[in-house]
Amino acid sequence: MADLAHIAWRMVEHDKGLLAIDESVDTCNRRFAALGIPETIEMRRAWRELIVTTPDLERWIGAVILSDETIRQTTSSGASFVSVLDRAEILAGIKVDEGTIMLAGHPDEKITEGLDGLRGRLAAYVEMGARFAKWRGVIVIGPTLPSRGCLEGNAMMLARYAAICQQDGLVPVVEPEVLMKGAHNLARDAEVTEAILHAFFRHADEQGVVLEAMILKPNMVLPGTDCAVQAGVDAVADATVNALLHTVPAAVPGVAFLSGGQPAELASVRLNAMNNRFRGRMPWQLAFSFARAIQQPALEIWAGRDDRTAAAQASIAHRAMCNHAARRGGYDAAVEAALPGDSHDGQ
């Protein structure tokens, strides 16, 4: 467990964050289709190669989450993606859940599958070089949702997954995501976020999860996308960090937010506000584990064209640099306008 705790700390040390490139094939294909990119395994491989070979990525990113397809892929020169990340001293991880299904007895709510056969899959991923894993649970807010059954079911699954990972030598990244979709306000989102976090940590204690050897990947507390009142940056920062202070034990080394579909710059602004307003008051590292908020601008630049690879990589580096600055509370207009490698990145 001491080794796993060290790995967990490495994932978020030096103001770095996680980069998630673990989208399912269907999700990746939908994003390709929207930009007219061929929906093929080779184009997915080329896109992920572009990401993992981004120059200087290790300055801002400490770990990368891969999918089952991606962890098995290689660069055009034949090097495995894991080996490319390892040479850059970036930790490689793997998404191990098998997606969501409808929760029996609870219409409109979901539970995540994947515990069956998990230990065998983890052993194979360890052989491939994975050092951590990720599991996502999904919570929907509605007029009568979430139900107690949904909260408890997802919390138990997350806790069992985390315990199995630690037993088999991987750091668990625990992702209980309260979705942004809905008309709920900021206070309701905070209430539900606290409820799922309370439930998870209660089950984690019962299941023997070692808190020092895990990373939490929660949503930011936000009003629903259909809410008539969209909270300002400071209100979001206060609601989010207060929810974490109410629920997340100090032993957890890092809290790395998912972006959940937020615009790239807004995700950076909100993370920056949290680290500014609560400086010195948080017992854990407050980091990022973004996917779309780092990838999407670059994907739109690349659009499947080899001649745009360098420009797309510059975009990935730029967004990673901006979020690295936000971790220190140093993200501003100058950083947003800077190029990777400028003095604004603090390296």
Token output for 92: 């490689």
- Packing angle of the helix pair 41-52, 292-302 (nearest 10 deg): 110
Of 23, 175, 177, 194, the catalytic one is 175
SS3 content of the chain, % helix, strand, coil (to 5): 50, 15, 35
Which residues make Cβ contacts (< 8 Å) with residue 16, sequence separation at least 6?
60, 61, 62, 63, 287, 324, 327
Rounded to whole angstroms, how far apart are CA atoms 329 and 156?
A: 35
Rounded to whole angstroms, how far apart are CA atoms 57 and 89?
A: 10
204 and 172 Cβ atoms separated by less than 8 Å: no
Which is nearest to 162 in space by CA: 151, 148, 173? 173
Rounded to whole angstroms, how far apart are CA atoms 255 and 111?
A: 23
Provide φ and ψ at 178, rounded to 5°.
-85, 115
Annotated catalytic, 98? no
Of 16, 95, 134, 217, the catalytic one is 217
Token output for 117: 């056969």
Which is nearest to 198 in space by CA: 218, 180, 172? 218
* Residue 307, CA atoms < 13 Å, CB-side half-sphere: 0
Rounded to whole angstroms, how far apart are CA atoms 34 and 300?
A: 10
Annotated catalytic, 177? no
Which is nearest to 50 in space by CA: 25, 23, 82, 81? 81
Catalytic positions are 175, 217
